[in-house]
Structure formats: C-alpha cells, structure tokens
Amino acid sequence: MIEVSGLTKRYGGTTAVKDLTFTVRPGQVTGFLGPNGAGKSTTLRLILGLHEPTGGTVTVDGRPFRDRPRGLRHVGSLLDAHDVHGGRTAAAHLFALARSNRIPRSRVGEVLREVGLAEVARRRIGGFSLGMKQRLGIAAALLGDPPVLLFDEPLNGLDPGGVKWVRDLFRRLADEGRTVFVSSHLMSEMEHTADQLIVIGRGELIAAESLAEFSARGTRQNVTVGTPAAVVLADLLTAEGAAVRAEGELLTVTGLTAARIGEIALEHRIPLRHLDTRSASLEEAFMELTADSAQYLAGGSR
C-alpha cells in the first residue's frame, strides 16, 4: 500500500504538490490523473524518495521507500522511458539493474520475454523506438517481481496493440495482488485501465474514488435543441430553471428533459428542427473537474 499524507513539494516559488493525502491499495489498478503540470511526476518522485518533500510524508508498505535496500524488489517503476543509456544493449541494461539489486540473472530473460523484447535483447537501446523503450522500461519495473509498481504515462508512444498489451498486463499484475499506480493526463486512457482514480489539479487533490463513482459524475444529461426561435426559447427554458448555452440556432440545455422542452416549445408554437439527449462523457467530466487548474496553467500565471 502507498500512503501519502499531507504531502507538499515546493521548488523555489512554485508549489508543485500541495497538502496531498491519498492511499493506493493493492489488488487494483489506480489511475493517477491530472492535466499537464498538475504534479503527477513530482508525486511519483516523492513516493520513490528521489525528491525530498517540503512537508508531509509518504510510505510504501509502512516505510519510506528510501529506507529499503535493494529497492527494485519492493517497488518497480517506469518514470521516463528515455532515461536509459543508448549505447547499452537491452540485456546489458537489465543485467546491470539486476546486479545492483541482487536479483538473479535469470530474471532478465524472463522479463524480456514477458514484454516481447527477447529477439532484440542484444540490440543497442539507442536504436529502439519509443514503444520499444516503453516496453524495456516496463521490463525493468518487473525485474524484481515487486509488490508495488509505479508507471508515469506508460501508454505514451504505444500503438493500439501495445496499449492493449499494457492494459492486460496491468490487470494481471493487479489480479496477482500487487499495487499498480499509473499516471496519465488523458481520461480516455484510464477509462479502460483503472479501477480507482486519484485526480489532482495544481498539485491539489480533486477526487479519490472508484471509476464507477467517477462515471456517475458523467451521467448528467444535456439536451441539444435546434430552433429558428432560439432567443425566445432560451428565455422560456431559463424561466423554467434550466441552464442554457446558445450558439446561433442551437441551444445546449441542462436541467430539463427533452420531453419537457418539446412541451414548452409546443405550448408557445415554436418550431423545433432538432431535439437530442446526450450524456456527458467521462472525458468531459474530467475536463470539467479540472477546468480551474487547466485554465490556470493556460493563463501561464504559475
């Protein structure tokens, strides 16, 4: 289990992570979501003890990760797929990691087969595609057969087959009882990957809940209405308590059903050209939830 409590990290005048508290449990895939610059990578580095927190604590299975000798047996991680020595072969890279963590050499062949890189084991990493480097990074994370795994944007650069392979792998690792913590800035990536979600924005916790709970936020329904009398109808719907957004002849309405909107239009003899109900997607729910932090970044005021 990963326990983050009151975690804060400042770099000079920038607060990357602010009073963050959450728990990541074993047996599940937990998605770590937030817009660019939200503080995900910083948090993962703090969990791994690569940075010192300004405040708060973070433990892995009850102890700071830094206190663990032979770290790869406790936590496997992929932070940056490019962070490898291009002149080395894939096998040499993994042998070096195995040696320094006292992991049997036989694991190298096993993990290379597992990630589909056995045939290129003797090739230099410098010639690898991003997708191959991602696979190599995953092999390194798996090397010590650790109970806890952290991945920073592991789906970047993978083709659809690679994405499916990673998703299936995460599922299997979680089913084996491991803690799997995966960051992404795209809800669409997590939708079919995660059981639990930790959502942050501007370094602060926005939500910590199951994907099902998060999905419930997205079930709010909008009705789109097309009419040449958009201004008149918008006034009538607003008077009934709806929230209305107008774009020319098209209205997006929340707070009233399509049936009720149809009745109101009929009562006032307003012709409708279009009437359609749609549910907000998970992606929209995520964007709405993180809109403040995303706008803040877009304004460049950090």
State the virtual CA torsion across 225, 227, 233, 234 in degrees, nearest 10.
60
261: left (phi over 0), alpha (psi -120 to 50) or beta: alpha
| Contact call for residue 37 and ligand ATP (CB under 6 A) | yes
Smallest distance from ligand ATP to CB 156, Å:
10
Query: Count residues contacting ligand ATP (CB under 6 A)?
Result: 13
Of residues 221 through 260, those in contact with ligand ATP by CB under 6 A are: none
- The span from the CA of 171 to the CA of 245, in Å, is 41
| Contact call for residue 42 and ligand ATP (CB under 6 A) | yes
Smallest distance from ligand ATP to CB 16, Å:
3
List the structure tokens of 179.
Answer: 């803690």
| Contact call for residue 144 and ligand ATP (CB under 6 A) | no
Going by C-beta distance under 8 Å and a sequence separation of 6 or more, which residues neighbour residue 297?
A: 35, 36, 37, 202
Q: Is 105 exposed, middle or buried (0-12, 13-18, 19+ CB in 10 A)?
A: exposed
Smallest distance from ligand ATP to CB 157, Å:
14
What secondary structure letter does DSSP report for 79?
Answer: S
Task: Give Cα separations from 174 to 2, 114, 250 (angstroms).
Answer: 14, 16, 46
| Contact call for residue 34 and ligand ATP (CB under 6 A) | yes
| Contact call for residue 39 and ligand ATP (CB under 6 A) | yes
Smallest distance from ligand ATP to CB 141, Å:
18
| Contact call for residue 293 and ligand ATP (CB under 6 A) | no
Residue pair 55/17 in contact (Cβ under 8 Å)? The answer is no
- Figure out which of the listed residues 40, 133, 135, 167 binds ligand ATP, where binding follows CB under 6 A: 40
Stretch that binds ligand ATP, among 33-41, 139-147, 230-238, 248-256 (CB under 6 A): 33-41
Residues of the shown chain interacting with ligand ATP in the complex, contacts defined by CB under 6 A: 11, 14, 16, 34, 36-42, 185, 302
